[in-house]
Structure 1
């Protein structure tokens, strides 16, 4: 699939139409630094190997891969090559997007996707990427193309570069433990110390795959690298999914989401119920400070 590059002299972004994902996002002013980990496999277009991909029309997993919506059981499809149990992260990241707009200044582009998921929903999505001085602003707009109202959700799945001594902070007001199916277990207000990033700390070596509830102001996170680069992340989204594999890792996923994981099985709380032709929007800003 085609790729498109934005470059404003400070930041460089490569966007891939395959999966509507980001292949690289770098700071390039005086020296080069991967703000997001670079694509780890250049031989394929799989978005899971990218720097960031979109999650839509829902984020993460849904228990049993199904839910009941207004008396009707909605059974989700699976892509067995990716996950044989769940409609993982929706289908936006495994779909081919198309270029809608790219400006002459190489600092703005927009992708679009129209999708119909049999027995589930139909939607149109737009993702815009804009370089504004020292920041990348990503916006996603999701519109219900179906004939009935449906509970939609969306999120961003960025892989932030981290080093052994990177200091990470994101104040949160609550935390979900994880069960054996990688789904949320009980919710607590007191966040266990190993998973508590309310003040700056290095990333522990343990496995993290947990949801956090943020304050009404949304996600406010920082990653402070010892090379003098600080990355500030903000989003109006009130939910943050955090992921890293066990052991030392060169990335940390801080994923702003419009809803908490498996909200579909809790009365669709936090989801956006869209009537036909109604839209929802999420956004994220990644600012690089040196």
Structure 2
């Protein structure tokens, strides 16, 4: 476990447990400390199942490869099943892998994860650059194709944000995937009035929330008046296919910046909407996001 500090922010990172950022806290100008990521007391990072706290990298693709299938229309193969709740592959391999610390200072670190073997053809070098400063925690995630053939890749990060009964979520998008009951995409549809969260509604309605937005503007804001806190998420252009998810009654909301849509590895309909990116040998895909806070 390593600790970073900078600009009023403090992060705890577990490189050996999927490179997870297990905590992110912010000290407000009044001296009060606020947790910016959902981090239940006693929660310990694991690689046995996706961690339901902190934020962690998704590589070489984000979200689901149904049936463990990867098929971008040019290359078709299977990857190992690792989803304990329904089969197939969920969130790639990065969250189950040990990441090496290759550089570290008080408010900055670089972690690497290299995949050099496996039954599937994925061979790659992934790295996370994490920086704490006055404008928040900025994470840049990158992956380089180290296979001897072109392969489809994607990226994402999976933040779990704290949520209370009065938390509002504000973000705008013009389209979304159409999902069935198993979160399998069947197409896409246009959104009225910039989507369901454009007017900053109270998020915790008691019903499950599950969206995969398209044409997102790269900004999300969560306000919790009872805690006097606003948490902001921003993302660069390559990570603007976000998933928003929380089960009914959850104390968290996931707003996940991704480079592609749910099911992009396996579903032909998604290849026409928000596909993986085909990388030639030696080619790199990168994206960044930032989490910051302010008092209300």
TM (normalized to structure 2)?
Answer: 0.88
Residue 211 and residue 117 in structure 1: after superposition, are their counterparts in 2 closer, same or farther (change >3 A)? farther
Describe the SS at the equivalent of 1:74.
Answer: strand
Distance 2:3 2:276 in 1: 33
Q: Which residue of 1 aligns with 2:104?
A: 102
Q: Which residue of 1 aligns with 2:111?
A: 111
Could you tell me which of 241, 244, 268 is aligned with 2:243?
A: 241
| Counterparts of residues 1-290 of structure 1 (less than 5 Å) | 3-8=1-6, 10-17=8-15, 18-29=17-28, 30-39=31-40, 41-43=42-44, 45-46=46-47, 48-69=51-72, 71-79=74-82, 82-83=84-85, 85-103=87-105, 106-115=106-115, 116-190=117-191, 196-203=196-203, 204-215=205-216, 218-226=217-225, 227-236=227-236, 237-246=239-248, 248-264=249-265, 265-266=267-268, 267=271, 269-290=274-295
1:67-107: CA deviation from partner (whole Å, max 9, x where unpaired): 43455431121126x3451111001001111111101xx11
Distance 1:163 1:209 in 2: 18
**Structure 2: 5+ residue stretches without partners:** none
> Contact (CA 8 Å) 1:40, 1:49: kept in 2 or not?
no
Distance 1:154 1:187 in 2: 21
**Structure 1: 5+ residue stretches without partners:** none
Matched length: 281
> Contact (CA 8 Å) 1:26, 1:36: kept in 2 or not?
yes
Superposition CA RMSD, Å = 2.1
> Contact (CA 8 Å) 2:67, 2:89: kept in 1 or not?
no
TM (normalized to structure 1)?
Answer: 0.90
